[in-house]
Structure 1
Amino acid sequence: MRNLATALVLGLLAAPASAEVVESSTGGFATHDSAVVAADRQAVWEALIHPEDWWSHTWSNDSANLSLDPRAGGCFCETLPAADGWGEGSVEHMRVITVMAGSTLRMSGSLGPLQAEGLTGTLTVTVEDAGAGTRISWDYVTGGEARFPAAQFAPVVDSVQTEFLTALVDRLGGAVEEPGQGE
């Protein structure tokens, strides 16, 4: 557990806008990504809690079917259109476990194909002032049992997590240089 905590701290100190697998073992892995946008925290928060406007990788192939109830116990869910006369379906992508409006959104659950395994993931998104903009940090930690070596799957999940953050950043006008970098 101490190694995981150390890896997460080191991951938080990593260069901004760089993604990497910060811990990987047979039972799980952790990823970290961050970016700075010119938008203020309120705009970032509003975009974050409306994933239907930017999230990719849906079961229905339509992000308009997504919803997020930003309160503890709320659902990040997707409605599946009726198919073959069977009526609507639904998917719980994650369950909201922490909301500190304007600073932290934490959700628990397994995304995509990880749902079929004995894995649980926790996604923590934090937003904080960064110069004239806002830093978005994106941490996804997965653990449990799977029918495949989790370490081998970690780079794929890391890539998808980076895709999610990139879509949010693009929605907010794109990344800007980290304050204090390049001077």
Structure 2
Amino acid sequence: MLKTVSAGLALAMIATAASAEVKARTDSGFTLAFERPVRAAPETVLETVAIPAAWWSSDHTYSGDAANIRLDLVPGGCWCETLPGGGVKHAETLMVWPERRMVRFDAPFGPLQGLGADAVLTMTWSDPPEGGERQLKWTFVVQGPGTGAMADAIDGVLAEQFRRLGDRLDDL
């Protein structure tokens, strides 16, 4: 998924976001957690997630253009990117449950595909408490040989996407 995997991963290792945390790490896996307040209505969250071209960074695509990404929010739906003469499946939708404010993906993004890693991204958003703000949360759980060493780099890339989605939701 990275246009230039080496450069992208190196930069991502340096970058971290205040809302991101490597919650757990072993040699063969890791868990990342992201959380931030957003002002968008619950239906707007799901509608916005469904259009990754509006919030995913073009720097972290194979084609170099997030406009080539589409996301089908139905079980079995494809989070795919069109490439010249082909394409790539970044993730598959496992669950869409608007009533529970949850979407889940089988999501071996970027270099995780080449390792045959299992990766699950769960997105949730809360109803705000009285006078409070809605909380947007992502949890990314990865298992596979050698993946623990990739946690910081992947944390940097996903933290950027999470920030971009949150900023987009705040702008709506």
Q: Is the Cα–Cα contact under 8 Å of residues 31 and 158 in structure 1 kept in the other structure?
A: yes
1:68 aligns with 71
Moved over 4 A (4+): none
2:117 aligns with 119
Aligned residues: 149
Equivalent position amino acid for 1:66 in 2: I
Percentage identity across paired residues of the two chains: 38
**Shift, 1:138, TM fit:** 0.5
What stretches of structure 1 of length at least 5 have no aligned partner? 1-16, 82-87, 175-183
**Shift, 1:114, TM fit:** 1.4
* TM superposition score normalised by structure 2: 0.81
Structure scoring higher RCO (CA < 8 A, sep ≥ 6) equals 2
Q: Is the Cα–Cα contact under 8 Å of residues 52 and 71 in structure 2 kept in the other structure?
A: yes
Rounded to whole Å, the distance in 2 between the matches of 1:38 and 1:117 is 37
RMSD of Structure 2 on Structure 1 (CA): 1.5
Equivalent position amino acid for 1:108 in 2: D
* TM superposition score normalised by structure 1: 0.77
Higher Cα Rg, which structure: 1
Rounded to whole Å, the distance in 1 between the matches of 2:92 and 2:116 is 16
**Shift, 1:151, TM fit:** 2.5
Q: Is the Cα–Cα contact under 8 Å of residues 117 and 147 in structure 2 kept in the other structure?
A: no
After the TM superposition, which of the residue ranges 61-70 and 36-45 deviates more from structure 2?
A: 36-45
**Shift, 1:18, TM fit:** 2.6
What stretches of structure 2 of length at least 5 have no aligned partner? 1-17
Q: Is the Cα–Cα contact under 8 Å of residues 94 and 110 in structure 1 kept in the other structure?
A: yes
2:52 aligns with 51
1:69-123 Cα shifts (integer Å, max 9, x gaps): 1011111001012xxxxxx110000011111026111000310111111212100
**Shift, 1:169, TM fit:** 0.9
